[in-house]
Amino acid sequence: MDTWERVEAGMIIAKEGDAGKLADYLRVLKEEDPLARSLLEAYFAIVRSRFPEAARKGRRLLSRVSGDSRLVRFLFNTLGMAYRGMGELEASDNYILKALEISERIGYLAINTKINLLYNRLLRAEYESIYSELAKLNLESATEAGHHAGYLLAIVECVRGRPDSALRRLTFLSELSSEKILWCQCIEIKGLANRLMGKLEEARRLFIESAEAYAGFSSAYSAFPCAKALELSRFAGLEPPPGKLIRRCLALARRGSWGEQAAAQEIDALLEDDDFKASEGLYDAAVSYSRANQPIEAFLVGATAALLAWRTNSPIFPIALKFIAPLAPLHRGFRRDPILGSFLSKIEPLLSDVRVNGVGAGIRANLIASFEIWVNGREIRPFEWYNKKAVRALVYLLLSPKHRLARDHLFYLLWPRKKYIRKNAVLLYEAVSVIRRNLGDRTLLVRKHDFYQLEGDVWTDLGEMESLIRFADSCQESARREELLARARELARGELLPEFPYDPYIDEYRQYYERLRRKVGGNKRVRS
C-alpha cells in the first residue's frame, strides 16, 4: 500500500466512528508510514470538532505532500473543513476550491469536493442556492455524495418549513452503517424535523441518540444535539437528557471550537432555573453561535432568548429582537415551530421595524474602493497611527467572519517569522492597545478566551454586500430580488482594500470578493 491507500483505509475507519480502532491503526502507521499517520491525525481532529488543532497540523504538512496530487487534494479538503469549523469561511472556500481544481484535473472525486463547498453555503445561510446547486448535480441517492446531498437538502427543507419533505430526504439512514458521523448528523436533523412537526417526544429521543453517538467518539459537537434535547425538556416539559451525558457533552464542548463552546453556553443557560437569568445566557449563546457561523442555532436560540425575555420583562428583549431581525427572513419555516411559532408571528411587526431602522451607532467601515472607518459617527484615521501592525490587525478583524480571530492566529498573520511565545506576545498586546486607544472605547475590542473580537454593532460594506446577496437568494419576488442585487452591485464598485496590495490574508478575501462580484454582475468584472 502507498501513502494514499493507507489514508483511504484510515478515512473508512474514521467514518465508522470507532475511535479505538482508529487509534490502533494510527499506532501501526507510526512505524509504517508517518506521513499517512499525520494526515489522518489532522482529519480525525475534524471528526472530533477540534478545528484549530486540525488547521495547525494540516498547515505543517503542506510541503510534505506536494509530490502526490491525491494527498494534496485530501489535505486541501481537510484544511478547508478545519477553517470552516473555525468560522473562517473565506479561507475555507479557497482551500476547497484548490482541492476542486485538483479533483477535476485528475478526475477524482470532484463531486465530493463540490458537496464539501456547499457546506460553506449552509453556514452562510445560502439555503436556496444549495437547493438549486444540488438540483443541477442530480445525484444518485445511493452514493456517498448522494447521502451528503440528502442531508443538506433535509436541512433546507426544515428551514423552508417542510419537515415532512425533510424526513423523506433522510430515507437512506439505514444505508449509513459504515458512515457513523453522517448518521449522527442525519439523526440530529431528523430530530429537528420531528420537532417542527410537533412530535416532541420523538425529537427528544433522536437528539439524545445523536448526542450519545457523538460523545461515543469524543466529538465536541455532541453538545449541539444535547442542547436541542434540553430545549425540549425546558419548554415542553419533557424528561431531560441523562445528567452523565450532559456533563460529558459539556466537557467535550469546552475543548472544541467556537460553535461547540456556544452549545456549552446554551446548555448552561438551559440548566439555569431562573427565566430572567436564562434569557441572558441564551442571548450570549446565540451571539456565540452567530460568530461561529451557525445561523440555524443562532436564530432558534436567539428567538428562545427573546421569548424568555418577553415573559420576564427582561432588558434583553430589545437586544435579542435586534439580533434575530436579520435572521428571521432567512428562517421563515420556523414560524411553524410548536414552541416558538406563535411568538415569532406575534413579534413580526417589531422585527420589521428593526430591519427598517437599520444599523445604529458602533463601528462602520468601508473596505471596498478605500479603507475608511467611523466609530459612533467619528472618523478614525488609521494611516496616521505610528504602529502599522495595529492598522493591519484592525483590518484583519474587520475582514474576519464575525470580526473575531484567535490570538495566536492574529499574531502569526502579523509576524509570520516569529514564534508565539511570551516574550513576543507583548508585540500583539501593544498593537491591540493602539487600536483600543484610537477607537476611543476599550470595550469595542475585547479578549474572550483565546480570541480578540470587535464588539457591539460592526458594519462593513463587504458584509452588507454579502447580506444583500443572501437575502436576494432567499427572496421569492423577482422585483425585490433584483432590487437587492442592484444595491449589492452599487457596493461592488471598486477593489477590496487597495491600500494593502501585497498581503496574503487580504488576498484570500479578494478572491472571495471577486466571487461575490461575479454573483451580482454576471461574468463581467464590475468596474470602479
Helix locations, 358-421, DSSP H: 388-399, 407-414
Mean pLDDT across the stretch 362-374? 92
Local confidence band at 14 (pLDDT 50, 70, 90 cut-offs): confident
pLDDT in the model for residue 378:
84
Read off the pLDDT band of 528 (50, 70, 90). Answer: very low
Which residues, in sequence order, are CB contacts of 507 under 8 Å at separation 6+? Answer: none
Amino acid at position 25, single letter: Y
**Would you kindly state where each structural domain of the chain is located, as residue ranges?**
3-120, 384-528
pLDDT greater than 70 at residue 523: no
Q: How far is it, in rounded angstroms, from Cα 169 to Cα 152?
A: 9
Assign 61 a pLDDT band (cuts: 50, 70, 90).
very high
In tens, the pLDDT along 307-318 reads: 999 999 999 999
Q: Under a CB-based contact definition with an 8 Å cutoff, are residues 392 and 503 in contact?
A: yes
Average pLDDT of span 463-469: 89
What grid cell was written down for 520?
A: 451580482
What number does CATH give the domain 3-120?
1.25.40.10
Q: How far is CA 73 from CA 97, 121, 290, in A?
A: 10, 20, 30
pLDDT digit string, tens, across residues 134-146:
877 767 666 888 8
The answer to whether the predicted template modeling score (pTM) of the entire model surpasses 0.75 is yes
Percentage with pLDDT > 90 across the chain: 54
pLDDT tens-digit readout, 416-444: 888 888 888 899 999 999 999 999 888 89
pLDDT of residue 137: 76
- In this structure, the strands spanning 451-454 and 363-366 are unpaired
C-alpha cell at 238: 419533557
C-alpha cell at 40: 489522518
The separation between CA 65 and the C-alpha centre of its own chain, rounded to angstroms, equals: 28
CA distance readout (Å), 126 to 228, 259, 295, 467, 503: 23, 19, 10, 10, 28
What per-residue confidence (pLDDT) applies to 134?
Answer: 84
Cα 458 to the center of its chain, rounded Å: 18
Cα(224)–Cα(528) distance, integer angstroms: 44
pLDDT digits (tens, 9 = 90+) for 314-366: 999 999 998 999 899 899 999 999 999 999 999 998 888 776 565 456 899 99
